[in-house]
Amino acid sequence: MTQSTIGTRLGGVTAVAITAIVLAACSSGSTTAPSTVGASSAAGSAGASSAAGASSGAGPIGVTLITKTSTNPFFVAMAKGAKESADKLGITLTTAAGKQDGDTATQITAIENAVSKGDKGILITPSGPDVNSAIKNARAAGLFVIALDTPPDPADTVDITFATDNLEAGKLIGQWTAGQLAGKAATIALLDLFSDKVVSVDYNRDQGFLQGMGIDVKNPQKNGDEAPTGRYSGGTYTIVCNLPTQGAEDGGQTAMENCLSKNPDINVVYTINEPAANDANKALTAAGKTGVLIVSVDGGCAGVGLVKSGVIGATSQQYPLKMASLGVQAIYDLATTGKKPAVSDGLTFFNTGVALVTDKAVTGVTSISSDDAAKICWG
């Protein structure tokens, strides 16, 4: 998820459920300082963007959406979903974003601004554990805080999270990869998000992918501690590298180049998101490598196009508009009726769904085609 920048259980998402997800979503980086649209809104040093000014009883219901970046298509779609819901409900929406993935300082400033101007709630895609203290302070001040896409660690740092089951998303692309290999040796490059901070979306996707491959992981909340060689469900494997990309295209290219310098025979590339996958492919092409299986997570329209063209073999599609619209609705419901949202059964968050997208289906792994995914993609 940045701009230019897995069992057969599918997290309950079948073709019918996918349609429901899309209908819900439709109904409803570098960056920037917050911006405002519509009614005026207090803008702090981090910036702001207000959608409609509305009132409910004692006054307007203010909500601040804080994303990791403002340029990643995933977060652009999220902001769109939030604005559509805010406009519909008459909520004053302020948006803010980090300058790049991992920029917690700007996110902290935006949290503090939301508290200062008396918002009812905050929606945030946390860039790392450094924001936890500011979130706790906001909750202590009476704000309802919802995480989107990236559950914080610990999960109860926020009131609730609306997110993809990232572990399941990883498992799906791992199972697909194992099926495609059909017993051939796997020489694997793992292109992760960070190396200097621990974020749940990072380790859940990486570890889910390895579990889907049938590789034994040691600590499921830590990347890179599994045995570098061993067996996956179909044959033998070698893990060449775990390198960070920052979720960016250039990061994907650099990481892939470094992995190839360690072992030029890589035939499987896991990527944290589609922008990283796109430029990882550029590095492979420049090195004259063909037939490499690249898998990813996101499911934006650009990523679905990469599946269609064969750059990405399979990706797990998630639904950011739904995350955001549900988040805005939850804060509205809390402010007007006192009703609080609940987590999905057996999880510590509300699961907004995931579907495997590929044009090379694997027996036993439920998937949808790139054509079907293109009808419900975002960005």
Task: Give residue-wise pLDDT tens across range 89-131.
Answer: 999 999 999 998 899 999 999 999 999 999 999 999 999 999 9
- The structure's pTM equals 0.82
d(CA 281, CA 287): 10
What pLDDT, on the 0 to 100 scale, is given for residue 346?
A: 94
pLDDT at 239 over 70: yes
DSSP-assigned letters across all residues of 346-358: TSSSEE---EEEE
pLDDT at 302 over 70: yes
Region 166-317+356-374: CATH code: 3.40.50.2300
Q: Are 86 and 52 in contact (CB under 8 A)?
A: yes
What pLDDT, on the 0 to 100 scale, is given for residue 43?
A: 30
Starting at the edge strand found earlier in the chain, the sheet holding 293-298 runs: 229-231, 236-244, 186-192, 268-271, 293-298, 314-317, 355-358
Phi, psi of 39 (to 5 degrees): -65, 155
The C-alpha angle 225, 236, 271, rounded to 5 degrees, equals: 55
d(CA 207, CA 213): 10
Going by their DSSP bridges, the two strands 229-231 and 236-244 should be labelled as antiparallel
Token pair, residue 253, equals 């290219």
- Helices (H), strands (E): how many in the chain? 11, 13
Considering only CA atoms, give the Rg of the chain.
20
Whether the domain at 31-164+320-341 and the domain at 166-317+356-374 fall into the same CATH topology: yes
> What band does 58 get if pLDDT is binned at 50, 70 and 90?
low
- Alpha-carbon torsion (29, 33, 39, 42), positive or negative: positive
**150-182 per-position pLDDT tens digit:** 999 999 999 999 999 999 999 999 999 999 999
CATH superfamily of 31-164+320-341: Response regulator (3.40.50.2300)
Q: Which residues pair with 189 in a beta bridge?
A: 241, 269
Segment 189-218 mean pLDDT: 96
* Helix, coil or strand: residue 359: coil
pLDDT at 55 over 80: no
Q: Could you state, in order of their start, the residue ranges of all structural domains in the chain?
A: 31-164+320-341, 166-317+356-374
Percent of the chain with pLDDT over 70: 85
